[in-house]
Amino acid sequence: MNALLLSAILGVMMMFSSVLISQKSAARTIAIAGMLLLLIANIMDMQGIHFFRINTEGMMHFDRFALLFNSIAIFSILLYFILSSKDMEKVGGYYSEYFSLIFFILCGIILVTSFKSLLILFLGIEIISIPLYILTGAEKKNLRSNEASLKYFLLGAFSTGLMLMGIALIYGATATFNTTQLTVSEKPGVLMITGMILLLFSMSFKVSAAPFHFWTPDVYDGAPTVFTAFMATIVKVGVFIGFIRLFDESFGMLKPQWQIWVALITAATLFIGNITAVFQQSVKRMLAYSSIAQAGFMLLAVYAMNSEAKEGLLLYSAAYCLATIGIFSVLIKMTDYTFDAFNGLAKKEPIVAATLAIFLLSLAGIPLTVGFMAKFYMLEAAIATGKHLWLVIFAVLMAAVSVYYYFRVIQAMYFKDGQPNPMQISPSFKWTLVVLAGLIVLLGIFPNLLLNWFYF
């Protein structure tokens, strides 16, 4: 609750601050300080200190799972601001508005992670989506950015339509929006099943699971890189939390009905994401497909739907956000997004290259990085279900494929010669990267540092 209201207030504040403050560094400072404040407020919420007393019964429920994820999300945005907010200046002239949109998106994420009513879920998804359409098209004079924005808007509106349809059908079947009261019988009617399938499809669309992923590469590629970093990471995992919540609370009893569907979607997502990423020539586009591939792994949590899966999804979201934000922050500094642009980076910028290597190793799931522990939890959760073991074996084979494209960047940086031309890299940027890499390794050895928060 704390974070939700504060972030809405901060969003409005940032929106009006552009009238009063013209200095860009001031806007940046306010945004970073605001995010820090949100983090503190959210952690206080976890400790039982609530700033606001508002009755949200039947609408929202701020449980441990949601609050911990919100902390991860806020922390990731904080890091993202520190690393990349300077690069937002290059996108266009509305600097502080970008921050305010991100604050609004955070509101949406908080709604999506803690909804108790399908209406709130819908509201949250919309609050996330509309600012994202704007951010995607923020580079007004760039045709590709415009195209991406339009494409995203049309397809996003379509999937929102599906979602509303699904919610309406479910309401027709049960006469309630409350997630915990939806399924009463093990033998649901046609309305209920159709509604559930529609919700499954629209959520799959939002997390870019195959075969609903077609918008992802174009939108991620066309959007300004600095915003791709945001929407590919924090937004995506936020929607995932909503996804797992929806299927756990609302459709938990219908698991036999949807599990095989989710298994098929997972397999398709893993396959398409990984195999297509192999053939990309641009690192940015590769990361877009990699985000589909990683979504495939996160879908394993939805498929398994047990206590390991929930823990694992939290860890996975942290692992994925930290590493991907790091990689994007370096990518933004490059003048050219091809793999060859990274040739010889290790000689020119050894610290940046070393940290980038750790981020990539983490995404590939090599032990000693949090990416491994995240994948480990996912596999464990999927094995714990005790059936469809082919899915687990398929997932690890696809993880092996992912090594191919992640290591191409490492190979370029370390083993090939070249003259990379990164833009100015400040010492503070480097140190933030080092801290981020240290965090990834630390969580890779002691994942309980994060997961203990789930219980205590």
Partner 1 sequence: MIAVLLILIPLLAGLISFFLKSERAARSWALFSSLAALAVAIIAVTANGNESNLAFRADWMGALNSSFSIRMDGLGKLLCLLNAVAFPIIFLGTWHTQYTKAANFFGLMLLTQAGMMGVFLAMDALLFYFFWELALIPAYFLCSQWGGPKRIQVTFKFFIYTFIGSLLMLVGLLYIYYHTPDRSFDIKSFYAIQHHITGNEQTWLFWLLFVAFAIKMPIFPFHTWQPDTYEQAPTSTTMVLSGVMVKMGVFGLLRWLIPVLPAASWAWGDTVSWMAVIGMLYASLIAIRQDDLKRLVAYSSIAHIGLMCVTVFSVNEIGMQGVIIQMFNHGVNIIGLWIVVELIERQFGTRKISELGGIAQKAPAMAILFVVIALANIALPLTNAFVGEFLMFTGIFNSAVTKYNVWFTVLAGLCIILAAVYTLNMIRKVFYGNTVERTANAIDIGLMEKLALGIIVVLIFWIGIYSQPFFAISDTVSADITNSILNKQEVLPVIKK
Q: Using CB under 8 A as the criterion, which residues of the chain lie in contact with partner 1 when the complex forms?
A: 311, 361, 366-368, 372, 376, 379-380, 383-384, 389, 392-393, 396-397, 399-400, 403-404, 407, 411, 414-416, 446-448, 451
Locate 129 and state its tokens. 């989506």
Residue type, 312: G
Distance spanning both ends of the chain, measured CA to CA: 19
Between 137 and 447, CB nearer to partner 1: 447
Here the tokens at position 189 are 């009617």
For the chain, the residue count is: 456
Query: What is the nearest approach in angstroms of partner 1 to the Cβ of residue 383?
Result: 5
Nearer to partner 1, 78 or 366 (CB): 366
CA pair distance 204, 206, nearest whole angstrom: 5
Backbone phi, psi, residue 60, to 5°: -135, 155
Tokens (6 digits) for 142: 């760039």
Closest to partner 1 by CB, 170 or 378: 378
DSSP string, 211-269: TS-THHHHHHHHS-HHHHHHIIIIIHHHHHHHHHHIIIIITGGGHHHHHHHHHHHHHHH
Closer CB to partner 1, residue 54 or residue 400? 400
CB of 371 to partner 1, least distance (A): 12
- CB closer to partner 1 out of 264 and 366: 366
Least spacing, CB of residue 8 vs partner 1, in Å: 36
Residue 111 Cβ, how far from partner 1 at the closest point, in Å? 30
- Report the nearest approach of partner 1 to the CB of residue 381 (Å): 10
**By C-beta, is 24 or 416 nearer to partner 1?**
416
Contact (CB, 8 A) for 73 and 106: yes
Distance CA(227)–CA(224), nearest Å, equals 6
Query: Would you call 60 helix, strand, or coil by DSSP?
Result: strand
Question: Which CB sits closer to partner 1, 247 or 414?
Answer: 414
Give least dist CB 400 to partner 1, A: 4
| CA distance linking residue 233 with residue 382, whole number of Å | 23
Answer for the pair 34, 74: CB distance below 8 angstroms, yes or no. Answer: no
CA-to-CA distance for 357 and 326, rounded, in angstroms?
Answer: 10
Our CB check for partner 1 shows the closer of 110 and 263 to be: 263
Q: What is the DSSP string of 399-441?
A: HHHHHHHHHHHHHHHHHS----------HHHHHHHHHHHHHHH
Q: Which residues are 178's β-sheet partners?
A: 117
Q: Find the shortest distance in angstroms from Cβ 407 to partner 1.
A: 7
Q: Closer to partner 1 at the Cβ: 51 or 446?
A: 446
Shortest Å, Cβ 384 to partner 1:
6
Q: Rounded to the nearest whole angstrom, what is the least distance from the CB of residue 401 to partner 1 in the complex?
A: 8
Question: With respect to partner 1, which residue has the nearer C-beta, 298 or 392?
Answer: 392
Quick one: tokens of 289?
């497909």
State in angstroms the smallest separation of the CB of 445 from partner 1: 8
User: Residue 104: CB partners within 8 Å, gap ≥ 6?
Assistant: 7, 8, 11, 127, 131
**Three-state secondary structure call for residue 324:** helix
CA-to-CA distance for 285 and 274, rounded, in angstroms?
A: 12
Minimum separation from the CB atom of position 454 to partner 1 (A): 10
DSSP-derived 3-state class of residue 1: coil
Give strand ranges (E) for 46-86: none
Helix (H, G, I), strand (E, B) or coil at 293: helix
Q: Given the complex with partner 1, which of 138 and 433 has the nearer CB atom? A: 433
